């Protein structure tokens, strides 16, 4: 297989209605679908429809005129969220003709095996009882996809931006195979290669030997859609790996257009999966790979070039709506943080290099334009999706950027709160309360679980049902995990590590903890959601100096706040700058080389001595150099690093939960604000004496 060759693949097998004509009766039937309570502006739409219908009967314009005319309006915004009544100009977008063709891109990312809905409780003001609510679920996503496919036929393209597999009992049980079956059934067209795609290593249960890329290669063989990564190469050859169904790019036939798609993988992959699994691979410059593949796609006749990338960014909503809405480039939007991979890449590209960007990796909700390019990202765990609408004049072959629209974030909800129009119980309730849980609507249709998808997944749900419901502990209050500060749940996991390993100290990476625990019963499903990675306990014997080097890298800032046990630390706050130096001698300063460490003491108050030896527990991902610990871990002789020194961390925490009847009580909190394990202080002002507060 020649990996640099592109594929030409139809976007769908549905009947192409892009050149059909709707007369009065079908239009009336279409209007009849828009009668849900959330459609407060139906009368305005009726007036517009009457005028449009007369025009269609007289001129026999194509249905693309209708679809494009509706793009700016509430018919294409999720009916589960409110919006202002659009004007006629916003609905129709000005004069249009049959030469215009619009395609729709549905973007997902970082699903992490979330096939079943996630059951959570709402966060309420004191005195208000929380409500149990379901969020996400593959069958609900499938219902949205079917609705869109009925509307747009083969002009709908489904792209995933990576991290499909790792993270749920159902998916992990078969090393990601249920996710591939789902994507095959939904008709996905391409997926980026995310860092966690490499987590499973060899085929078989944890500890199996063989090809460390074996599980991923098997999933790629099973997929009916290509996996794309233009910047992943084999170190031995300097070329894209010649694995079945792995490509740098592909071309899709969508309506009357050729749509080129290229894939990218984050440069942080070597330190955000198990490093031992990918020693044969390297990840190269994102800009160079994008420019090379985009040029090749244009030369192959692509009318549009779209990127699906496990490459992240963080943007803020600004004054724009935070609920699902139809957006155009000149609408108010918040800023995107500088220094993020996707932001830097898009800012570096010449205008016209790419036309749309589906992002992943950072678990953010993004619906923004960067350097003229529409970018979407849908958070994580299948809670949202976004849509991008792109229009081309088929006569002139000109991409009409001014007609580009983003719709989203569309919530994936089995039920929505009537007054809130979504199922997000984390945000504050409206003044009139959340309302009852009701069936959601989308594009004028009620959304109910797709029965074909339910039938597909039922066997794996049945196989895991009893294990998921098993109660492993009790929480007196919510136990949260916050990556940017000391975390109650992080403290618990670090304590469990130290308890099992019998070490002086324990250190946990914040990215290894993926969820929170609500008040009440803690089930095995919830434990798995918090700790989805099959990481073993590792034990290192380190000198005080080596320990400080590890802590310096851990608390440099880019990965958040590492939970600790057996120590108290004083660091420069993560929101401030800090001194740095080139530790690894590569003649540049990487983020992990910032030095925030001010003071390190054992929990009894004694200072850590450079020459004394201490035992340190962590997980084997960290002991292999993951999350930017590579340089610091290499300072410890291999003879003093035991990577497999205990069971899987998830099992360790389950055992530790049994040591108390109830966790996080008011009298025994997991985080004591008066006695923090990690104290953050302001950076010292250069040239001035330390203040009294700084000395504390």
Same domain? 491 vs 403? no
Q: Answer yes or no: is 245 within a domain.
A: no
Q: Answer yes or no: is 277 within a domain.
A: no
Q: Answer yes or no: is 478 within a domain.
A: yes
Q: Answer yes or no: is 141 within a domain.
A: yes
Q: Answer yes or no: is 100 within a domain.
A: yes
Give the residue from 412, 427, 454 where a domain finishes.
454
Same domain? 366 vs 511? no
The CATH number covering residue 428 comes to 3.60.21
Same domain? 421 vs 558? no
Q: What are phi and psi of 396, to 5 degrees?
A: -90, -10
Q: Answer yes or no: is 285 within a domain.
A: no
| pLDDT for the residue numbered 324 | 84
Domain span at residue 506 reads 471-695
Q: Answer yes or no: is 479 within a domain.
A: yes
The CATH number covering residue 559 comes to 3.90.780.10
Closest residue by Cα to residue 584 from 628, 527, 554: 628
CB 381 within 8 A of CB 426: no
Same domain? 568 vs 423? no
Same domain? 104 vs 212? yes
**pLDDT lower than 70: segments of the chain:** 1-96, 685-696
Same domain? 363 vs 491? no
| pLDDT for the residue numbered 646 | 82
Give the residue from 390, 424, 454 where a domain finishes.
454
Q: Which residues of 377-404 are buried (b: 16+ CB within 10 A; e: fewer)?
A: bbbbbbbbbbbbbbbbbbeeeebbbebb
Same domain? 442 vs 486? no
Question: Sign of dihedral through CA atoms 391, 393, 394, 398?
Answer: negative
- What digits encode the pLDDT tens for the residues 611-666? 999 999 999 999 999 999 999 999 999 999 998 888 899 999 999 999 999 999 99
Give the residue from 391, 424, 454 where a domain finishes.
454
| pLDDT for the residue numbered 14 | 33
Q: Which residues contact 48 (CB under 8 A, 6 or more apart)?
A: 88, 91, 92
Same domain? 534 vs 580? yes
Same domain? 377 vs 504? no
Residue whose pair of structure tokens reads 């749920």 in the numeric block? 168
| pLDDT for the residue numbered 208 | 83
As a whole number of angstroms, the distance between CA 348 and CA 693 comes to 43
Same domain? 507 vs 653? yes
Same domain? 426 vs 492? no
Q: Answer yes or no: is 230 within a domain.
A: no
As a whole number of angstroms, the distance between CA 153 and CA 104 comes to 10
Domain count, the chain: 2
Same domain? 524 vs 437? no
| pLDDT for the residue numbered 93 | 52
């Amino acid at each position: 297989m020649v990996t640099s060759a592109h594929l030409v693949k139809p976007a769908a097998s549905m009947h192409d209605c892009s050149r059909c004509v709707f007369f009065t009766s079908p239009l009336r039937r279409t209007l009849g679908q828009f009668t849900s309570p959330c459609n407060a502006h139906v009368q305005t739409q009726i007036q517009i429809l009457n005028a449009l219908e007369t025009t269609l009967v007289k001129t026999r314009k194509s249905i693309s005129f209708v679809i494009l005319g509706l793009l700016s309006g509430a018919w294409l915004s999720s009916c589960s969220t409110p919006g202002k009544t659009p004007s006629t100009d916003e609905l129709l977008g000005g004069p249009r003709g049959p030469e215009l063709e619009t395609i729709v891109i549905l973007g997902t990312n970082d699903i992490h095996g979330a096939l079943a809905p996630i059951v959570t409780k709402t966060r309420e003001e004191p005195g208000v009882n929380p409500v149990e609510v379901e969020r996400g679920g593959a069958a609900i996503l499938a219902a949205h996809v079917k609705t869109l496919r009925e509307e747009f036929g083969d002009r709908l393209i489904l792209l995933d931006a990576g991290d499909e597999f790792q993270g749920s009992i159902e998916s992990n049980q078969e090393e990601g195979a249920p996710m591939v079956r789902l994507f095959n059934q939904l008709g996905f067209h391409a997926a980026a290669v995310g860092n966690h795609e490499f987590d499973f290593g060899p085929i078989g249960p944890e500890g199996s030997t063989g090809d460390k890329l074996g599980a991923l290669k098997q999933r790629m063989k099973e997929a009916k859609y290509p996996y794309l990564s233009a910047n992943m190469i084999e170190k031995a050859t300097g070329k894209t790996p010649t694995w079945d169904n792995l490509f740098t790019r592909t071309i899709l036939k969508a309506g009357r257009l050729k749509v080129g798609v290229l894939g990218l993988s984050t440069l942080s992959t070597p330190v955000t999966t198990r490093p031992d699994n990918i020693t044969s691979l390297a990840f190269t410059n994102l800009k160079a790979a994008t420019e090379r593949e985009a040029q090749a796609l244009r030369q192959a006749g692509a009318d549009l070039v779209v990127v699906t990338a496990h490459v992240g960014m963080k943007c803020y909503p600004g004054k724009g709506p935070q609920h699902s809405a139809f957006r155009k480039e000149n609408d108010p939007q918040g800023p995107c943080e500088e220094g993020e991979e996707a932001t830097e890449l898009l800012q570096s590209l010449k205008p016209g290099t790419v036309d749309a960007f589906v992002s992943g990796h950072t678990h953010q909700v993004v619906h923004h334009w960067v350097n003229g390019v529409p970018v979407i990202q849908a958070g994580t765990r299948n809670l949202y999706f976004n849509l991008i609408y792109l229009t081309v004049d088929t006569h002139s072959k000109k991409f009409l950027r001014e007609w580009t629209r983003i719709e989203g974030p569309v919530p994936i909800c089995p039920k929505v709160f009537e007054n809130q129009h979504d199922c997000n119980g984390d945000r504050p309730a409206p003044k009139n309360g959340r309302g009852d849980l009701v069936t959601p609507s989308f594009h004028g249709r009620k959304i109910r679980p797709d029965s074909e998808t339910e039938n597909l997944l039922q066997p794996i749900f049945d196989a895991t049902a009893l294990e998921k419901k098993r109660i492993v502990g009790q929480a007196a209050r919510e136990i949260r995990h916050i990556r940017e500060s000391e975390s109650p749940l992080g403290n618990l996991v670090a304590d469990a590590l130290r308890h099992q390993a019998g070490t002086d100290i324990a250190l946990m990476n914040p990215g290894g903890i993926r969820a929170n625990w609500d008040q009440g019963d803690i089930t095995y499903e919830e434990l798995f959601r918090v700790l989805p990675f099959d990481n073993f306990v590792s034990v290192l014997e380190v000198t005080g100096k080596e320990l400080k080097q590890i802590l310096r890298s851990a608390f440099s800032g880019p990965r958040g706040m590492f939970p600790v046990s057996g120590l108290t630390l004083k660091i420069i706050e993560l929101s401030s700058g800090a001194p740095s130096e080139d530790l690894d001698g590569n003649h540049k300063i990487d983020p992990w080389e910032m030095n925030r460490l001010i003071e390190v003491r054992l929990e009894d108050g004694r200072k850590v001595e450079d020459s004394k030896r201490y035992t340190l527990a962590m997980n084997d991902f960290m002991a292999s150099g993951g999350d930017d610990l590579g340089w610091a871990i290499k300072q410890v002789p291999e003879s003093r690093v035991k990577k497999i020194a205990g069971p899987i961390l998830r099992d360790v925490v389950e055992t530790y939960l049994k040591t108390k009847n109830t966790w996080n009580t008011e009298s025994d909190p997991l985080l004591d604000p008066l006695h923090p394990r990690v104290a953050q202080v302001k950076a010292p002002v250069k040239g001035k004496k330390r203040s009294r507060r700084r000395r504390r």
